[in-house]
Structure formats: structure tokens, C-alpha cells
Structure 1
Amino acid sequence: MKNKITILILVTLFLSQVVLFAAGQAEKPYPTASDVRVIIPKGAGGGTDISARGLLQYLAKQIPGINFVPTNKPDGGGVTGMVETANAKADGYTLGMVTVELAMFPHQGKSPVTFENFESIAAPIAAPAALILPASSPINTLDEFIAYAKANPNTITVGNSGMGAIWHIAAMKFEEAFGVSLKHIPYPNGTADIVAALLGGHINATIADPSGIKGQYEAGNVKILAMMADERSNLYPNVPTFKELGYDMAIRAWAVLVAPKGTPEPILTILREAARKTYDDPEYINYFVRQGIDPVKIIGPDADEMMKEDHAMYEVMLQKVK
């Protein structure tokens, strides 16, 4: 009998230790493993890559024991990387960046995933479109540009990043808002070609992210008439916004750090709170300013709302692309 009691006590003690161990494991905060893979759906060295790596570098300072491992997956215009992130296990150990193309590609038959496949963590950038002209242009204000475009339909040549791409859509939104017709000239190889055409007199204007022309702007070779944003840029404080000039228009090129849909809320909270602290780090802000990028402070649900709004807007606008 005494042996049975002894065995029962030992078994009880053993089971209690197992329960305590399991509870301790369950309560151990994220991350329990150090490496967190982050899929970047663009090539190394581009704006999305620079922004993602900057965010991760400073985000890691706020989460003890974490090691973000960026992986570039640019195939398919970024679709491959975004799909891989969406299909990853929702455990916090695979995250990804998604870009504004996430709001566009589904309506063009290029991607099976949308904003609904992800949980937003933080958006480090949401670059507004800007109306950019050569410094030699006689047009100096947004209202002058609108008046000239109305008086001379299909005359002003405007460079964009390719038919159906974001800056083409921005120019189309401009036409729709002001009842004008512009002549669209595509430069699918990117900003460098647009800037060369602008400075060479081959086009009259462009509507694009101003970060790609910052050097030319500072050199006095181009001018920015206005930004399609709600607030003035810290990098271009003397440039007015469309909104302050009386026109409520906003087009932005964003990138958002996300997790797969279904990632536990406690993990998302840790990541979002870390991002909130990161946004106030002066070193983090300086990192972006050195790259010619004006960082934004968009967290979680606000990023979801931004992506949802743009998804709906591009659904309408892309139907008008001919």
C-alpha cells in the first residue's frame, strides 16, 4: 500500500511538472525562434527593397531575440513573392512586403491574391504622385497647368511608367478630375527614362513619385507644381498639395509589411507595437531621408484601410485603360 502511495505521489509530481513546463512554453513570448523570414517581392536595391530592409533593421531593435532574414522574390512583377507570403504558415515566422501592385494586379488578371489574404503590420512608405515639369516650362502653378490643358486638349505630353501602371492611372485620375485630355507617353523601363525624356524636351510633364527626381529638383532642373497628398512632404516642404489647393486627390505608391491571414493577434500586436516605436526612432527617420524617401507612420488597421481603398479605386480605373 505504501509503495502504491509513493508511486502515486511521484506520478502526480511528474505530471504537475509537465503541466508547468507546457504552460511555460505556451506563455513564452514571440519569437520563440530567432529567424523570421521576410519575403520582398522586388529586386535588391530598389525602393521597396531599401524601404523593407530599413524597416526591418530598426524594427529588430524593438523585439529582443528576433532576426529578420530578407529574401528577394521579384519574379512575375512581384506576384510570386506576394503569393508565397499569402500561402505561408500563419505563425509569425514568415512575413512579407506587399506593394501597390497588390491593389492593381487582381483586376488585370495577374494575381490570385488581394489585401484580404494578409494581416497588415506597418507601412513605411506611401509615396504620393507629384506633377513634375522641366524648370524651363512657362507653367508655374497647378491652376495654370489645368487651364492650359483645357485650352489645348491632347497636346500636353505626359510620361508614365507604362500603360495601366500606377503613374498612368494617376494621370488618368487627373484627366477625370479636371475634365482634360493628356497625351500619355509610356516609359516602362522606369523613372530614369522619364527624367531623361523630361530634361531632353521629349515630354512636357510627368506625374510620378518625386523621389526619383530629387537630385534634379535640388539642382533646379525640374519643378514640382503640386503633390497628390493630404499633407505636405517633409522632403519638399515648399510644394503645395492638391488638397490645400482645393482638389481632393490622392494617389500613392505604398509598401506594407504583412503577415499571412490568420496570424495570431498577440503576434501581430507585438509586431505593430514594435513598428510604432520604430517610427519615432530618429535614426530610422534619417535612414529614409538619406535615401530620398519621406517615411510615413501607418500601422495595422490603417494600412488595411489604405489597401482596401486603393483596391476599390483601381478596380474602377483599370476598366478605363484602353
Structure 2
Amino acid sequence: MRMAHHNNDMTVEMHMIARKACSAVAWGLFACTGLTAPSLAAESYPDRPPTWIVGYPAGGGSDFLARKVAQQLGSQLGQPVIIENKPGASTIIAAQAAARAPADGYTLFTADNGSLILNPALHSRLSYKAGDFAPVGLMARFPLLLVTDSAGPYATAAALIDAARKNPLLIQFASPGAGGPHHMAMELLKARADFQAEHIPYKGAAPAVQDVLAGRVPAMMLDTATAQPHIQAGKLRPLAVASASRLPIYPGVPTLKELGYDVEVYAWQGLVVPAATPPAIRERLASELQKSLENPRVKAALTEFGLEVTPSTPATMQRFIESETALWQALIQERGIRLEN
């Protein structure tokens, strides 16, 4: 029995020596080639299809943007990029899923004003934070329009604002959801133009637009992609644009700045990954994303849809996020706006 026990000890010891030797050889190979495990992963990336999480339903503007870019991005990466729609809770559901995903480059996330800036500022209890993500690059932005029912009494933005100043209970405004860029753009206009109006949130843009078209709610801020068909049909009247300059498709519509209100707001979107994603993979994604957005077919399709294409580096996106955070956090604190999950 003692001999058998001795032999077992020797066997275990030999296995341990062999494992250490193999480990040493492996690390020696890494050292000789200048590669580490993360860099080897980056060299072979992607070896399977990445998943791109979108916090909005299929068929909307955000979904359209992601699918157009993902198709081109996948062809450049040599692997298809799979779109996964996770709508609900003002993108909180999607952001939480992306933040908790492995940081290996196989989970991408459409981040926007809501997910990175407004949600953290508006919610005291949030299941993720903006720092859970690393920027890959900005993609595009939706210009916003102040619109009203074309059969309604307000022919200009000044007329609408004057009515709200004279009777704060008269004017209401709709939005696709509380805490989103459309809602907060109107809050900024209320602050800068010094008027009051009741916010009526809806579950999505479609029902909000329907109530404006029906005259049940006087006005709303609406992105150009959603507003365009209703304006072309003569059902919605654009009163002003919240962009820095007039839009080529609506040259007769003034900017809010022209009217004396310091408001420039967009519903913008960018691409992010979990923060611990290896730098080499982030750099590869950033480079390929810019190429995708500069592709003539992709750019033409996005522009025709009503988007302004805004490719950027990760560093530029990070600076933009910081400036946007400062703007919206100050407004939210000043107006005392809070939302709870």
C-alpha cells in the first residue's frame, strides 16, 4: 500500500512539472513573438458574428441606421453583424444587456443621448452607468423639428410660444417617451424661451404623432425622419428646426436660434462596446465604422432617410459626450426633472 501511494505521489508531481513546462513554453512563445493573449484575440477578431444591440423596435429610425451600417461593417470585417432589438424602458433594457456582456468585441451597442446622458441624469437608481462603455465612434444624428397640426391655430413658433406664455395651461406637448431627446429638447426650449407647457409622454413616436395630427396635443419636437412623410402629406406644419442652420429639405423653416432662442439639439447616435474590450479590438472597430459611414451607398441611404452622417474618432465621441453631459445635467437639475425606473 505504501508503494502504491508513493507511485501516485510521483505521478501527480510529474503531471505538475509537465504542466509548468507547457505553461513556460506558451509564455515563451508569446514573449518571442511580442504577442499577449488579448493581442492574439485581436489578431483573429472577429472569428464569429458580433451582435449589435439596439434599444429600439425594428422598423424605426434607430433600427434603420444600425442595419444599414451593420451590413457594410460586416462585409468589411468578414463576419455578419447580427442586429438584436431590445426595446423598452427608454433604452435601459438594452444598455443593461450590453453593459453586462463579455468585453470581447462581440457585443456592440447603439448608444444615444438617452442611454449615455439622460438616463444616468434622470434616474436615481440605474442598473448601469455611462462608464460601463467605451466609445467606438459617432454615427449620425436626427435633426429635430418643432411641429404642430397643419390645420391648427399656430402658424409660427412665436405664435405657439406667445400662447403658452399668456396661458400656461393651454399648451401641451407630446413626446415618444419621458426622458428621451424629444422630451428634453422641448424642456430646453421651455427654459430658453421662458414659457410653460405640460408634457404628455407616449409609448413611441407613432401614437404621439397621431395625437398631434388629430389636434389633441398642440405640438411636439419630432425627428426629421419621422416627421418628413407627414410634412410632405401636408398634415404636419414645421415651425422651427433645432439645428445650427436651416435644413436643405426645409429651407423656408427658420432655426430656433434665428428666432432668438439658444436651442441646438439633435437626437444623435454612436457605437460603443463594453469598457473592458481590448484596445486593439476597439481600434479595429473604430476604423471599420468610419469606413462604413463614408461608404457612398451607406451615406446616401442614411441621408435620404433624413439623417446627418457624423463619423468620428473615439476621442471625439468622448469629448462630445462630456459636453452633452454638462449641458443636460445642468438643465435637469435646474428644472428639477426626475424619473424612476
Q: CA deviation at 1:234?
A: 4.7
Q: CA deviation at 1:124?
A: 2.6
TM-score, structure 1 length as denominator?
Answer: 0.80
The residue correspondences of 1:72-83 to structure 2 (distance < 5 A) are 72-74=85-87, 76-83=89-96
Q: CA deviation at 1:283?
A: 1.0
Take 1:221 and 1:144, find their aligned partners in 2: how far apart are those partners? Answer: 19
* Candidates 213, 227, 251, aligned match of 1:199: 213
The residue correspondences of 1:80-159 to structure 2 (distance < 5 A) are 80-102=93-115, 103-106=117-120, 107-159=122-174
The residue correspondences of 1:21-36 to structure 2 (distance < 5 A) are 29=43, 31-36=45-50
Q: CA deviation at 1:297?
A: 1.0
Does the 8 Å CA contact 1:230/1:250 hold for their aligned counterparts? Answer: yes
Take 1:126 and 1:252, find their aligned partners in 2: how far apart are those partners? Answer: 6
- Superposed CA deviations along residues 3-39 of structure 1, whole A, max 9, x for unmatched, are xxxxxxxxxxx99x95699558957745251422222
Take 2:30 and 2:208, find their aligned partners in 1: how far apart are those partners? Answer: 65
Take 1:219 and 1:85, find their aligned partners in 2: how far apart are those partners? Answer: 39
The residue correspondences of 1:47-86 to structure 2 (distance < 5 A) are 47-63=61-77, 65-74=78-87, 76-86=89-99
User: Which segments of 5 or more consecutive residues in structure 1 lack a partner in the other structure?
Assistant: 1-13
Take 1:18 and 1:193, find their aligned partners in 2: how far apart are those partners? Answer: 61
Does the 8 Å CA contact 2:145/2:223 hold for their aligned counterparts? Answer: yes
Does the 8 Å CA contact 1:158/1:204 hold for their aligned counterparts? Answer: yes
Take 1:128 and 1:32, find their aligned partners in 2: how far apart are those partners? Answer: 34
User: Counterpart in 2 of 1:321?
Assistant: 337
User: Which segments of 5 or more consecutive residues in structure 2 lack a partner in the other structure?
Assistant: 1-24
Q: CA deviation at 1:187?
A: 4.1
The change in CA–CA distance for 1:55 and 1:237 in structure 2 (over 3 A counts) is: farther
Q: CA deviation at 1:217?
A: 0.2
- Superposed CA deviations along residues 158-204 of structure 1, whole A, max 9, x for unmatched, are 223344444332222211111112233x1412222222222222222
The alignment partner of 1:67 has SS state of coil
User: Counterpart in 2 of 1:188?
Assistant: 202
| Residue identity in the other structure for 1:129 | L
Q: CA deviation at 1:110?
A: 4.8
Identity of aligned residues (%): 25
The change in CA–CA distance for 1:23 and 1:306 in structure 2 (over 3 A counts) is: closer
- The yes-or-no answer on 1:167 pairing with 2:150 is no
Take 2:91 and 2:288, find their aligned partners in 1: how far apart are those partners? Answer: 26
The change in CA–CA distance for 1:67 and 1:161 in structure 2 (over 3 A counts) is: closer
Q: CA deviation at 1:244?
A: 4.1
Does the 8 Å CA contact 1:160/1:187 hold for their aligned counterparts? Answer: yes
The alignment partner of 1:211 has SS state of helix
User: Counterpart in 2 of 1:218?
Assistant: 232
Take 1:157 and 1:76, find their aligned partners in 2: how far apart are those partners? Answer: 23
The change in CA–CA distance for 1:175 and 1:191 in structure 2 (over 3 A counts) is: same
Does the 8 Å CA contact 2:90/2:177 hold for their aligned counterparts? Answer: no
TM-score, structure 2 length as denominator?
Answer: 0.76
Does the 8 Å CA contact 2:141/2:266 hold for their aligned counterparts? Answer: yes
- Superposed CA deviations along residues 245-288 of structure 1, whole A, max 9, x for unmatched, are 44331233233211111333332222222222222222102322
Q: CA deviation at 1:51?
A: 1.5
Q: CA deviation at 1:88?
A: 2.8
User: Counterpart in 1 of 2:280?
Assistant: 266
- The yes-or-no answer on 1:296 pairing with 2:309 is yes
- The yes-or-no answer on 1:248 pairing with 2:262 is yes
User: Counterpart in 2 of 1:283?
Assistant: 297
Instruction: State the Cα RMSD in Å.
Output: 3.1
Take 1:129 and 1:188, find their aligned partners in 2: how far apart are those partners? Answer: 17
Q: CA deviation at 1:301?
A: 2.6
Q: CA deviation at 1:306?
A: 3.2
| Residue identity in the other structure for 2:203 | N
